[in-house]
Each structure stands twice: as structure tokens, then as C-alpha cells.
Amino acid sequence: MGIKKTATIVMSTLLVAASLAGCGGGKESAPAAVNTENVYKEKYDPPVTITTVWGVDPTLQFKNGESAENNVATKWAKDKFGIDVKSLWSVTDTNGAFATKVRLAMSSGQEMPDVVTIGDTDSQLAQDLIDSGMYSEVGPLFDKYASDTWKKAMSEDANVWNPYIRDGKKMGIPVLDYAYNHDYVLWIRQDWLTKLNMKAPTTMDELEKVMEAFKNNNPDGLAPDKVIPLSIGFKSSMNTWMGDPSWIFGAYGTIPQQWNLGSDGTLQYGSIQPGMKEGLVKIKEWFDKGYIPKEAALWDENKTSEPAVAGTAGILPGPYWMSGWPLQDTVKNVPSAVWKPITIPVGPNGKAMRHGTTTTNGVTLINKNMKHPEAFFTYQNYMFDQLANPSANSEFDKGLFKGYDYDVDSSGKLLTGENIPGGYVNSVRYLLVRDGARIPNAQMDALIKLADGGKAETRLERDIQNNYGPLTPEAAKVLMSQKDSSYPNMFTGPTTQSMKTKMDYLNKIESQTFNEIIYGKSPIDSFDTFVQTWKTSGGDEVTKEVNDWYKSVHK
């Protein structure tokens, strides 16, 4: 190592040490001047720049040597709108890398992006960014620039803004998702039911009879200890998606691990309601009878699908699209297997509950220093008008980008999936806002139309038909027939102060108590002790803060 080089390194070290103290301050900035003239354009000439950062989905692929920074979507935006989407950086979002990197970028005083979209997994990051004061109020911008289609989509569910309201100001634009996307149905082995000459269960009692028959009188001749009549798992939580057990408690009037609206108009924590105890008693009974997996406490969502795919499980709770994945593979292992979606059974009082879906999956923030916030709306308006749910024969009728998510062969035939030369890539994820644009009710409307025998005519309808699995329309119909049983988590605000310090412990004792009751390591009455502990160990404070928030948004 030369002396000069050594000196350089030593010098730079000292510089670093000196600058360490100074950085991370975050430049104080004046809010973007609100222009009175109409700067909004369909196409910008000269082009304008929107900077952004990407948390790239690990499964997202690129073709033709493209990347998150530079691809068919960025070229398209430049040609179409004169908008130069410039990437400051991108990171493959695994192990929370995106959130970490945003925080590190902030800490080291790097340039923050004009527009950033943050998924619900990183909701705390979104709240932090709002708190940082670097991002501007979006309410007026949205009112001024958003297209009618977008505004209409946003108004389908009045609650979508709630998480991002600060002192009555809208600080982030919610990213809309399809309604009921995480609601679920029960998937049942119809071939077993047929052979047993039973009908689909509609009550808890009928469900028990079916499970009993699946196990001890298995139509495929499986030995009782090889059958898992109901595949559910508790490792992550009692309120999840595939293999979800929360509807069992729903039959007794509560959904765990979320805030439900009580009869008195306040929000109540589902896991401490009396219905929980009845549900636990039921699950314990099923566990003892071998209706649910012996290792349920160790099983996460994916694990619960394994016996279903293997053909040894009778019922698997999960989303309406599961005939497209993972259940399509069951017939490869058991050729006679037939899955059917059914409604979730009602409890003793004739009521069923399932956890519902919030119609957002993230938020888009707009930097205070962004010179042309209207450009973002130009881009996004087009997405809502032309991509979200366009009428037949629109620009994106066949798909988003030719040669990426669809192609057309020489005879004019539409190619999808593996038939596309060079393979399918999910190019909708290249767009500035994740998934381009979704109108909450559009998906279900399209599905119901298909289920009722309608033909796929629009882009959305074709997409569902091609990519969502054969039974999905039917399952959607089942799902919607129980629309009134859907109960989303009513608390969507920022994490409250006592949640930060107390909730982890409360969740821990909750899972511990529930699992121990099911496994017979604690008596059922330990539930009452748990409720007491929950309340005194901070649960009451959390409840109060949650309700304060609820009142503040529901004035």
C-alpha cells in the first residue's frame, strides 16, 4: 500500500469521524409551492423527473437484461407522459431490507425519493416517514389532480385514508387493493363428501360429523392417523390466511388478534372476549379427537397446505383463489381428488364470522420537495383509467406490456404464461405504484360475472380467467354469499405508544395460553387468568389509545 493511499485513507477516516456528528440532520425544507396555474399535463415537454426507490419483490423477474431502474415500464412512461422515472436505489426486499435501507438512507442524509410506495408489511416505516416531516400533505393534491375514476375507487371504502390522517390532514395516498382478497372460504374434498354421501357442512355440528367421517371412515381408505380432517396451524397467529383458525372463534362471536366493533360502539380486542373461551374448548376437543394436526402449534401457513396437496387433508381454510395455488397440484398426487369451496359454518347462534380484508395494501408518499407532484397524478390517473378496469378494447386489453406479460403470435392468437417467448414476467410490478392500480370492487364484480356464466371480455376478466385457477369464480361466489360475516380489523391507525412497549408481551402470553389450553397443558380456566393479566399488563391502556384513535377518525 503506497504512502499516498495510506494517507488518503487516514484522511478520509478523519473526515468520516468529523462528519459522523453532523449528518442525519435531514434538510429542513420549505413546503412545495402550490401553483395556482394548472400545471397538470397529459404529457410533459420538456420531460419531468420523478425520483423513487424500489423494494423489489424477490420473485420479480426481469428479462432482456432489464432491471428495476431501467425497463419497459420506465421507457413507456418516458414516451407516453414525458416522465422520467429515476431510481435512486433498489433493493431486493427480503428480511425487511427495504425498510432498513430507507432508514439507513435517512440516517446518512441521502437524497430521499419524490415518490415512495410502502407496503403494509412496512407500515411502521410509512408512519415514521410521515413523522419525519419530509413528506407532504396529499389531500389537496389528490383533490386537485386525481381523476374521477381514481376518486371513485378511493371512495368505495371510506376507511382507507384512516391510517394516514394526522391532525385531520391526509399525509399519504392509500394504495388500493381488491376487496375481500384476504377473506376466506373453506376448501373441502368434495370427492370424499360424495363417496360418504354427505353434504357440505353448514353448522359446527355438521362440520364435526364430516370430520369424524373423514377421519375414521375415510373414503380413500386412509388409516385414521394418516388423515388430517381440518388442516390449520397456530405458529404465526390465530388470525392468518391459509390454514386460518379464526373462524372457529367466529362461530362463537369473536375474531382473535384484531379490534372488533363492540355493541357499545367501542373497539374491543377480539382475543379477550368470552367467545374465545368457547372456541378454545372446541379446538381442544378437536385436537384430542385428532381432527386437527398434532403439530398445529408448530405449523405455519405453508405447512398447512402440505397435507392438502398430498391428499390427506379434508378441509383447508384459505383465500378464494386457492384452486390456482396450491390446490391445483393435489390431483397430481391423488387423481380422484376434487376440491370445492364452501361457506364457513355457523355457530350455535346461527352466526358466522370471518376476518375481513382492508382494501389497501400500502401507501404512497409524496416528497415536500417534489417539483412536479402533478406528474405523479398524470401517471397514476392513466393507470386507473386505462389499466385498473378498462372497458373492452382499451390500450391494455390483452395485458400490460407485449412480450412481457402477454404476447401475440403471428396468427393473432393471445399468448400467456410460459407460452410467451422468453417467459412471463409480472411487469405490472415495474410500475411506479405497486400493482399499477386496483379498484377494490372490480375484482369481485368481474368474478361474479364469470361465475354467472358471463364471458371474459375486459382485461381484468381475462386476467382472472387465465391466471387465477378454474374454481376461483365459484369460490368468489361462495365468498360473497357470506359477505355480511366479514369483519375487518377496525384499528388501522399508527402503532400507539403503549402498543410499542406492551403489545409484544401481550401477544406472547396470548399465544402461549391458547396453545397450552389446546394441548392440555393448562386448564381451560387459565383463559380467565389470561384476560386479567392482559388487562392489567397494559391491555387496558392499549384499548384506551385504540379507542381514542377510533374516535378521532370517526367524529
Determine, following the binding rule CB under 8 A, whether residue 96 of this chain makes contact with another protein: yes
State yes or no: residue 306 binds another protein (CB under 8 A). yes
Q: Smallest distance, Å, CB 239 to another protein?
A: 9
Question: With binding defined as CB under 8 A, does residue 407 bind another protein?
Answer: no
Q: Per rule CB under 8 A, is residue 333 in the interface with another protein?
A: yes
Between 53 and 207, name the residue whose CB sits nearer to another protein. Answer: 53
**Pair 280, 438: CB distance under 8 Å:** no
The answer to whether the beta carbons of residues 180 and 171 sit under 8 Å apart is: no
Task: Between 152 and 521, name the residue whose CB sits nearer to another protein.
Answer: 521
Number of residues counted as binding another protein (CB under 8 A): 113
Options 495, 526, 541, 547; binder of another protein; rule CB under 8 A: 495
**3-class SS of residue 500:** helix
**CA distance linking residue 337 with residue 424, whole number of Å:** 29
Is residue 198 within the footprint of another protein (CB under 8 A)?
no
- Choosing from 137, 329, 397, 445, the residue that interacts with another protein (CB under 8 A) is 329
Site for another protein in 242-281 (CB under 8 A): none
When binding is defined by CB under 8 A, the residue of 44, 291, 376, 468 that contacts another protein is 468
Determine, following the binding rule CB under 8 A, whether residue 369 of this chain makes contact with another protein. no
Give me the half-sphere count of Cα atoms (radius 13 Å) on the Cβ side of residue 80: 16
361 binds another protein (CB under 8 A): yes
Spatial CA neighbour of 197 closest among 216, 220, 213, 221: 213
**Contact region for another protein (CB under 8 A) — 22-30, 208-216, 281-289, 477-485?**
22-30
Cβ neighbours of 164 (radius 10 Å): 26
* 500-519 positions binding another protein, by CB under 8 A: 500-501, 504-505, 508, 511-512, 514-516, 519
Kindly state whether residue 106 participates in binding another protein, applying the rule CB under 8 A. Answer: yes
Q: How far is the CB of 153 from another protein (least distance, A)?
A: 15
Residues 223-242 that bind another protein (CB under 8 A): 225, 234-236, 240-241
One character per residue 113-152, x = contact with another protein (rule: CB under 8 A):
------xxx--xx--x--xxxx------------------
The CB-of-74 to another protein minimum distance in angstroms stands at: 14
The sign of the torsion formed by the CA atoms of 206, 211, 216, 220 equals positive
- 33: contact with another protein by CB under 8 A: no
Q: Which residue, 441 or 495, has its beta carbon nearer to another protein?
A: 495
Stretch that binds another protein, among 67-75, 183-191, 380-388, 485-493 (CB under 8 A): 67-75
Q: What is the x/- site pattern for another protein, positions 376-405, by CB under 8 A?
A: ------------------------------
Give the single-character DSSP code of 360. E
The dihedral sign for the CA sequence 302, 305, 307, 310 = negative
The residue range among 57-65, 155-163, 250-258, 486-494 that interacts with another protein, by the rule CB under 8 A, is: 57-65
Pairwise CA distance, residues 396 & 390, whole Å: 8
Cα end-to-end span (Å), the chain: 69
* H helix or E strand, kind and range, residue 125: helix 123-131
Q: How far is the CB of 181 from another protein (least distance, A)?
A: 7
Per the CB < 8 A criterion, the answer to whether 134 and 112 are in contact is yes
Options 2-10, 272-280, 372-380, 473-481: segment touching another protein (CB under 8 A): 2-10
Give the whole-angstrom CA distance, residue 212 versus residue 219: 12
Pairing of strands 185-189, 339-342: antiparallel
Could you give the angle at the alpha carbon of 367 between the alpha carbons of 361 and 372, nearest 5°? 110
Q: Are 231 and 244 in contact (CB under 8 A)?
A: no
Site string for another protein, 412-441 (x = CB under 8 A): --------------x-------xx--x---
Q: Beta-carbon neighbour count of residue 469 at 10 Å?
A: 18
